[in-house]
Structure 1
Amino acid sequence: MTASTGHVIGGARADGGGARIEVVNPATEAVIGSVPAGTSADADAAVTAAREAFADWAATPLAERVACIRRISDGLAARREEIATTVTAEMGSPIKFATQVHASVPVATSAGFADVLDGGFAWTEEVGNSLVVREPIGVVAAITPWNYPLHQVVAKVVPALAAGCTVVLKPSEIAPLTSEIFAEVVAEAGVPAGVFNMVHGTGPEVGEALAAHPGVDMVSFTGSTRAGRRVSEVASGTVKRVALELGGKSATVVLDDADLEKAVKLGVAGCFPNGGQSCNALSRMLVPESQHDRVVELAAAAVGKYAPGDPTDEGTRIGPMVSAAQRDRVVDYIRTGIDEGARAVVGGPDAPVDKGYYVQPTLFDQVTPDMTIAREEIFGPVLSILTYRDEEEAVRLANDTEYGLAGAVFGSEERALSVAKQLRAGQVDVNGGRFNPNAPFGGYKQSGNGREFGRFGIEEFLEVKSIQR
């Protein structure tokens, strides 16, 4: 694992020559590396390099761009073990989950983009007397989060490159070391200088400089809804395109004819992966009043299996929160839930261990829709159980949120599918449907706009031109 890192600007490494940001292992609280505290000047230099490289990259034959994408996918696959251990070290995800998800899904999604283009992507079409042409939008600023530090980089950078755009990446300063591996893989894949650039730093300094920059044609951002609003505000000055993948407060709807054991087990599993630090975490479980007691019993048993532990241990299912600030945020929400009258069936606010940024996986019962823990995104291992009287109320409660990113429904196939269609969310799983890396991912309402993955992810980075003849 690389301990000290730098920017990538115009194909060259730059250390910034100034202040650095320390990277802390959240399990041990030890400093494991550092990155430059980039400046607006660094961002400007990276945008200039990307602009200079754009015309040639956009004109590069599609077959050559696809070949680069496949080499990136192969390069990530070759370094899967290193990627997993780096993710575990910098953000605390348990090594088994880091290997199976953090280090593996990006391999599939990057290959998926290449497959889409090889499968006959429609770059042009005839509409009456018009020739409709799809062209790369230009220079893309990709601003990515700490919770999936490679997955989100790949979801933005790879389709942008595939579309013919050039990119400036600003990875999270909290978990930036995995992006260093990605930068090395991109260079080894033969991507020309200036096509991919990377500037480390904070959101207020580097992120805002990129969002406001007149040389940036599009910003693709993943993070909190609050930060997404700020990105939109800053970007509006140049009327550039903004794609946002933001927060969530997703619900698992358990219908009265569901297999309860399966529904509760998978519902809990959908809340707690990555320590609950997932925008699509299923953090609310809506259950029929008549089955409440049995659901609480099953959920308590399932949550009890997620004991916090050393993330380097293959048997650990819950690691630490990514930082002390995130731990404190989650603990504050747990205390708020108790203060507002919810019952902590499992867990609570007390620290489970003396060292590391750990919290107890917590299951709340007696939660009402107006409680803070039922409305706000916690971003930690906290699950709330709410009850409903009938299917209509279940749908209303599921949609009673400012978010609309994801959801799940369990029940007989026909009923579950009917309810899934009524949920105002960008992605809904029925009876444990598997994640599809080529299906569109993104949110309704304040969960953002735009879509990632597959052809939908590529289309985000294209302009559409009509030529009348």
Structure 2
Amino acid sequence: MNGKHYIDGEWTDKGNDTIKVMNPATGEQVGTVPNGGEAEATAAVEAAAAAFPEWSKTTAYERAKLLMKWHDLLLEHKEEIGEILTKEMGKPLKEAIGEIEYSASFISWFAEEGKRVYGRTVPASSDSKRIQVTKQPVGVVASITPWNFPAAMMARKMAPALAAGCTFVSKPAKMTPLTAVRVFELAEEAGFPKGVINLVTGSASKIGKVFTSHPSVRKLTFTGSTEIGKELMKQSSETMINLSLELGGHAPIIVLDDADLDKAVKGVMASKFRNAGQTCVCGNRIYVQESIVDAFSEKLQKAAGQLKVGNGLEEGVDIGPLVDKDGYEKVERHVKDAVEKGAKVLVGGDGKAENDAYFYNPTVLTGANEGMLVMFEETFGPVAPIMSFKTDEEAVKLANDTRFGLASYFFTESMTRGTYLAEHLEYGIVGWNDGAPSAAQAPFGGMKESGIGREGGQEGLEAFLETKYISIQL
């Protein structure tokens, strides 16, 4: 599959050259996209700016109708798009199809939520005055999305932006652009007007520079690393762009001694090993109360050992490849460091790298401690390190001892202890006996260096609206 830019209602392959899209499970090329830069990004932004006045005047009902057509087309083609996603990203096909369904859930949610953009009348301090508060779309929105969820992260930004009345320019990750191209083809088929949606593939630095400096861009929404988020924030300071930044994570999982162990293991498996551990909200370090650490470790070892590793297109595969050599070597480095510092490998601990394809077996480590890389760096791989703790207060202190604050998880059957953890964990997302808390209707985002703003839920629509106060003297 060879993709193109989608700019001002036209498909074009302008660019300096092309980017090869590779299958991480086989090392084979699966397609190309144009390597666009500043010229293509500028054209896309200007097309969005030209389309904004008319699009922003459409009613929420008109916008919802188009969004639902797009939603229906995505579900109609979910197996096809899922296969494209698996070929360029590597996740198992069942997960890829699930991602398309998850993407569609954001579109349907915001299609309806866009009808609920309410203003209000505020009591004035004088009978000769009237005070009104209204909401209006922020303007042209630019988006930069990551490789690990190429459909969902785009839909989670694009759907609320369009529902709010904004126009949109999307820049997908260069490793996984083909999914975005197919999703845009279906959006075009749904009937969005010329210039309302635009897609540019290519150089992140060159395209990002346009997004942060062009005067017509009024909002930038980004999902990716904290380091890149900080750089975009610096660049955006010159034009004071409205920012939403969903950045890195280092999620703790706490298992208290009154937890249902089967429920806890199921939750940890859902959090830790989805997408081979390549998610920003996956559990990265597991803290288990010392009286149950052996029993829990044994159950997790057994569950992880049953996972099948391989090409995501093969039947029964649970764990696909790591996205590239750098990701594989980081996982290797983390496991080696942990073992050298006293950790014991219960299962896994090794991988296979050949023909530019990198697979790492699901790994469970016991005897982890705070001095290990895996306990203070985000691994982004299928490695589950277990460290014991004594008290609930100690668990919270260990969990919060990081500059990140995206997602956290804990398992307990006690309302009292669970309430304490939920209120004291410094994270934007808390899963209580739940290893998969993400949902279109709930706000998603982090504290500390895990970002700014929220996506999903009511908050996800507010992110694309400006509040205007009108004071009327009669």
> TM-score with structure 2 length normalisation?
0.95
Taking a change above 3 Å as real, the CA distance of residues 176 and 374 of structure 1, as seen in their structure-2 partners, is same
* 1:117 corresponds to 2:114: yes
Q: SS of the counterpart of 2:364?
A: strand
In 2, the alpha carbon distance for the partners of 1:345 and 1:85 equals 33
Q: Quote the sequence identity (%).
A: 40
What are the Cα deviations for residues 320-355 of structure 1, in whole angstroms up to 9, with x where unaligned? Answer: 012233222322222233334333322224427777
Structure 1 or 2: larger strand share?
2
Residue in structure 2 matching 1:52, options 50, 53, 56: 50
Identify the match of residue 13 of structure 1 among 11, 17, 28.
11
Which consecutive residues of structure 1, in runs of 5 or more, have no partner in the other structure? none
- Cα drift, residue 14 of structure 1: 1.2
- Asked whether the equivalents of residues 439 and 456 of structure 2 are also in contact (C-alpha less than 8 Å), the reply is no
Secondary structure of 1:383's aligned partner? strand
Counterpart of 2:337 in structure 1 is: 336
Residue 103 of structure 1 pairs with residue 104 of structure 2:
no
SS in 1 for 2:430: strand
Distance change in 2, residues 1:37/1:159 (3 Å): same
**Unmatched 5+ stretches in structure 2:** 125-130
Give the alignment of 1:382-393 within 5 angstroms.
382-393=383-394
Number of the residue aligned with 1:346: 347
Alignment of 1:60-99 (within 5 A): 60-99=58-97
How is 1:65-214 mapped onto 2 (pairs within 5 angstroms)? 65-99=63-97, 101-118=98-115, 121-129=116-124, 130-214=131-215
Once the two structures are superposed, the pairs formed by residues 443-458 of structure 1 within 5 Å of their partners are 443-458=446-461
Distance 2:340 2:39 in 1: 47
Q: What CA distance in whole angstroms lies between the structure 2 residues aligned with 1:88 and 1:70?
A: 25
**How far is the alpha carbon of 1:73 from its aligned partner?**
0.7
Residue by residue over 1:255-301, the C-alpha shift from the partner in whole angstroms, topping out at 9 and shown as x without a partner, is 11111122123213211101111000012111111112112211211
Preserved CA contact (<8 Å) 2:24 2:356 = no
1:23 counterpart = 2:18 = no
Equivalent in the alignment of 1:224: 225
Question: What SS class does the counterpart of residue 359 from structure 2 fall into?
Answer: coil
Aligned residue type for 2:425: L
| 1:192-224 deviation digits (Å, cap 9, x = unpaired) | 111111110132121232123222111000011
After alignment, is 156-165 or 355-364 more displaced?
355-364
Q: In 2, Cα distance between the equivalents of 1:179 and 1:369?
A: 40
* Offset of residue 16 of structure 1: 1.2
Aligned length: 464
In structure 2, relative to structure 1, the CA distance for the partners of 1:317 and 1:229 (3 Å cut) is same
Partner of 1:440: 443
In 1: Cα distance, 2:147 partner to 2:356 partner: 21
Whether the 8 Å CA contact 1:123–1:134 is kept in 2: the answer is yes
Cα separation, partners in 2 of 1:413 and 1:434, compared to 1, 3 Å: farther
- The 8 Å contact of residues 114 and 164 in structure 2, kept in 1 or not, is answered as no
Secondary structure (helix, strand or coil) at the match of 1:336 reads helix
One-letter amino acid of the counterpart of residue 124, structure 1: G
Q: How far does the alpha carbon of each residue in 1:60-88 deviate from its partner, in whole angstroms, 9 at most, with x for none?
A: 12211111111111111111111111111
Q: Aligned Cα RMSD in Å?
A: 1.6
Match of 1:400 in 2: 401
Query: TM (normalized to structure 1)?
Result: 0.95
Task: Name the CA distance, whole Å, in 2 between partners of 1:36 and 1:144.
Answer: 17
Deviation per residue, 1:39-58 (Å, 9 max, x gap)? 11111111111111111111
Q: Distance in 2 between matches of 1:80 and 1:253?
A: 35
SS at match of 2:307: coil
> Which residue matches 1:427?
429
Q: Distance in 2 between matches of 1:315 and 1:353?
A: 22
**Paired amino acid for 1:111:** S
What SS does structure 2 have at the residue aligned with 1:351?
A: strand
1:414-465 residue CA offsets vs partner (Å, 9 max, x unmatched): 0223312221111111112754320101111111111111221111011111
**Contact 1:96 1:314 (C-alpha < 8 Å) held by counterparts:** no
Task: Return the alpha-carbon distance in structure 1 between the equivalents of residues 71 and 39 of structure 2.
Answer: 32
Q: Is 2:456 aligned against 1:468?
A: no
- Between stretches 415-424 and 338-347, larger displacement belongs to 338-347
Alignment of 1:380 onto 2:363: no
1:461 partner letter: F
Q: Report how far residue 116 of structure 1 moved.
A: 1.8
Which residue of structure 1 aligns with residue 128 of structure 2?
none
- Which stretch of structure 1 is more off in the superposition, 377-386 or 149-158? 377-386
